[in-house]
Amino acid sequence: MTAFQRVVVLGSTGSIGESTLDVIARHPERLAVYALSAYSRMQRLAEQAEASGAAVVVVPDEAARRQFAAAWSGARPMPEIRVGAQALADTAADPQCDSVMAAIVGAAGLPAALAAARSGKRVLLANKEALVAAGSLFMQAIRDNGAELLPIDSEHNAIFQCMPTGGRALAPDAPAPGVRRLLLTASGGPFRGRDLEDLHDVTPAQACAHPNWSMGRKISVDSATMLNKGLEVIEAHWLFAMPAERIEVVVHPQSVVHSMVEYNDGSVLAQLGQPDMRTPIAYGLGFPERLESGVGPLDLTRLGRLDFEKPDLARFPCLALSFAALRAGQGACVALNAANEVAVEAFLAGRLPYTWIARVIEASLEWQARQGSVTLGSLDDVLALDAATRAYAGNLGLA
Ligand code: NAD
Ligand code: MG
C-alpha cells in the first residue's frame, strides 16, 4: 500500500460517509479525498467537496448536477461533476484513486463496489448488501485482481482484528487455521425485550431509535428486526470463508464487544471499543498501521458489566430467515436482501406494518425457491434476480 492514499468515498453524505470524511480530515499527511458521491442532499455534498478539496463528485442525474452547481459557493474551482450509475462505477475504478470506501446503502452499491475490486483497489467495505447479493463474484474479483478487502462493518472489522496474524488474509478461500468459530455480537436493537405481537404498530421513528449506534435509516430498521445480523452472518461467511454452522450470534446489549474469534485451543479473542464507526474506518484506512480516529478511551469501570444472551429466533424471524437463505444458496441470499429492501422502504414510507417486513421476506424466499436453481455467474445475473425479486415483493399487496 502506498503511504499516501487518495480515497473515493461512495455515499459520502451518509452516516458512514460522514465518519469517513472525519477520519480522513485528521490525516492530511497521508490521506486525501479524490472523489465523493451522493444520491440526494446536494447542498451537503457541495459542503463536503469544498471542505475536503475533492477533485470529482458523482451525482445521480442532471437535476442533481444543477442542484450541486447551484449549491457551490465559488470559494474554490468547482470539482468535475460526473453523472449516473456508470460514472459511479468508473470513478470507483479511476486510476487516480488508491482506496474506495463503499458506503452506499443497499444492492445499489454493488456495481461500484465490484468495479473497485476489479480494478485492484483497497476496498473498504461498509456496503454489506453488496456481499450478501454477490459474495462469490465479489470475493473472486478481489482475489483475481490483487485488490485488498478491509471489512468496515464493526463486527467483521473486530473479527478481522482477532484473526491469527499469519491468517489475516484479505480474501481467504478457506477458514483460517486454528479458528473454531466466529462469534458475532448483536445489540438486539430497540425492541430486544419486546414480544413480536406488541410490535405491530411501531413507527419508523421508534424502529430507528437504536440504543447504541447512530446510523442511516435502513440499517437502523434492519437492526430492529435483526435482519442486519442475518446479513452480517452471510457477510462473515464470505469474508472469512466460514461455513454457516461455525458462525454464532450472541446478543450483547452494550455493543462494547464488537465480535469474537474462538480458537481450537479454547481461546476466545475479542475486540472492544466504543460504538463509534470511526474506529473500524480508521483501521481500514491505516491498515496495517493504527491511526488516530477521534474516538476516546473505553471506560470499562464506568460500564461495570457486559451482558450476553442467546438470540430468540421466534421473536426475530428475520434472523432465522437469513440463516435459511444462507443454507439455501446464493439465489436465496439475493432474494432475502432485495425483498428486505422493498419491505423496509415500504415500512419507512408508512405503507407496511413493521411485523410484515418478515412476511414479505418469507414470501419472497418461497417464490425464489419455486424458481428452481439459478446461475449467478455475472453481475447481470445477480442484478436480474434482484430486480425480479423486487418486482415480486412490491406486488405482494403487502408492500
Ligand atoms: P445512509 O443512508 O446514512 O447513507 C447512504 C449513502 O448512500 C448516502 O450518501 C446516499 O446518498 C447514498 N445512496 C443511497 N441510495 C443510493 C443509490 N441508489 N445510488 C447511489 N448512492 C445512493 O447509510 P449508512 O448508515 O451510512 O450505511 C451505508 C452502508 O454501510 C450500508 O450498507 C450499511 O449497512 C453499512 N453499515 C453502516 C453502519 C453505520 O453505522 N451506519 C455500520 C455498518 C455498516
Ligand atoms: Mg454491524
The CATH number of whichever domain residue 145 belongs to comes to 3.40.50.720
Q: Which domain, by its residues, includes 30?
A: 5-151
Q: Are residues 94 and 232 in the same domain?
A: no
Interval between CA 130 and ligand 2 midpoint (Å): 14
pLDDT value, residue 399:
46
d(CA 106, CA 104): 7
Q: How are beta strands 257-263 and 268-272 bridged, if at all? A: antiparallel
**Binding-site entries for 1-deoxy-D-xylulose 5-phosphate:** 128, 154-155, 187, 210, 223, 228-229, 232
Q: Are residues 175 and 251 in the same domain?
A: yes
In a domain, residue 156? The reply is no
Q: Are residues 336 and 310 in the same domain?
A: no
CATH code where residue 387 lies? 1.10.1740.10
pLDDT value, residue 166:
60
* Bond preceding residue 172 cis, omega within 30 of 0: no
ipTM over 0.90: yes
Widest distance between CA atoms in the chain: 61
Domain boundary residue, one of 256, 288, 316? 316
Q: Are residues 192 and 58 in the same domain?
A: no
Altogether, the residues listed in the chain come to a count of 399
User: Measured at the alpha carbon of residue 281, what is the angle toward residues 280 and 286, in degrees to the nearest 5?
Assistant: 100
Interval between CA 295 and ligand 1 midpoint (Å): 21
In a domain, residue 115? The reply is yes
Question: Residue with the nearest Cα to atom 4 of ligand 1?
Answer: 14
- Residue-by-residue pLDDT tens, the chain, 399 positions: 447 999 999 999 999 999 999 999 999 999 999 999 999 999 999 999 999 999 999 999 999 999 999 999 888 999 999 999 999 999 999 999 999 999 999 999 999 999 999 999 999 999 999 999 999 999 999 999 999 999 999 999 999 999 987 656 688 989 999 999 999 999 999 999 888 889 989 999 999 998 888 899 999 999 999 999 999 999 999 999 999 999 999 999 999 999 999 999 999 999 999 999 999 999 999 999 999 999 999 999 999 999 999 999 999 999 999 999 999 999 999 999 999 999 999 999 999 999 999 999 999 999 999 998 888 999 999 999 999 999 999 999 664
Q: Are residues 308 and 342 in the same domain?
A: no
Closest ligand to C-alpha of residue 275 is 1
In a domain, residue 252? The reply is yes
Question: Residue with the nearest Cα to atom 27 of ligand 1?
Answer: 105
pLDDT value, residue 265:
98
Interval between CA 185 and ligand 2 midpoint (Å): 9
Q: Are residues 141 and 13 in the same domain?
A: yes
| pTM attached to this predicted model | 0.97
Q: How many domains does the chain have?
A: 3
pLDDT value, residue 398:
60
Domain boundary residue, one of 98, 121, 151? 151
The answer to whether 37 and 21 are in contact (CB under 8 A) is no
Interval between CA 103 and ligand 1 midpoint (Å): 5
In a domain, residue 162? The reply is no
d(CA 70, CA 54): 17
Interval between CA 92 and ligand 2 midpoint (Å): 23
In a domain, residue 198? The reply is yes
Domain boundary residue, one of 151, 182, 203? 151
Atom of ligand 1 nearest to the CA of 218: 2
Q: Three-state SS across the chain?
A: CCCCEEEEEECCCCHHHHHHHHHHHCCCCCEEEEEEECCCCHHHHHHHHHHHCCCEEEECCHHHHHHHHHHCCCCCCCCEEEECHHHHHHHHCCCCCCEEEECCCCHHHHHHHHHHHHCCCEEEECCHHHHHHHHHHHHHHHHHCCCEEEECCHHHHHHHHHCCHHHCCCCCCCCCCCEEEEEEEECCCCCCCCCHHHHCCCCHHHHHCCCCCCCCHHHHHHHHHCHHHHHHHHHHHHHCCCCHHHEEEEECCCCCEEEEEEECCCCEEEEECCCCCHHHHHHHHHCCCCCCCCCCCCCHHHHCCCCCECCCCCCCHHHHHHHHHHHHCHHHHHHHHHHHHHHHHHHHCCCCCCCHHHHHHHHHHHHHHHCCCCCCCCHHHHHHHHHHHHHHHHCCCCC
Q: Are residues 381 and 270 in the same domain?
A: no
Ligand 1 pocket test, pick from 37, 105, 127, 184 with the greatest ligand atom count within 8 Å of Cβ, gives 105
Ligand 1 pocket test, pick from 36, 68, 215 with the greatest ligand atom count within 8 Å of Cβ, gives 215
Interval between CA 372 and ligand 2 midpoint (Å): 32
Q: Are residues 54 and 141 in the same domain?
A: yes
Q: Are residues 190 and 145 in the same domain?
A: no
Ligand 1 pocket test, pick from 19, 58, 104, 344 with the greatest ligand atom count within 8 Å of Cβ, gives 104
Q: Are residues 136 and 193 in the same domain?
A: no
Q: How far is CA 36 from each of CA 47, 67, 91, rounded to the nearest angstrom?
A: 11, 15, 9
In a domain, residue 341? The reply is yes
Q: Are residues 66 and 192 in the same domain?
A: no
Q: Are residues 306 and 211 in the same domain?
A: yes
The answer to whether 253 and 154 are in contact (CB under 8 A) is no
In a domain, residue 158? The reply is no
Atom of ligand 1 nearest to the CA of 228: 34
pLDDT value, residue 167:
53
Pocket around ligand 1: residues whose beta carbon is below 6 Å from it? 11-17, 38-40, 103-105, 108, 126-129, 153, 213, 215-216, 218-219, 277
CA 203 to chain centre: 24
In a domain, residue 122? The reply is yes
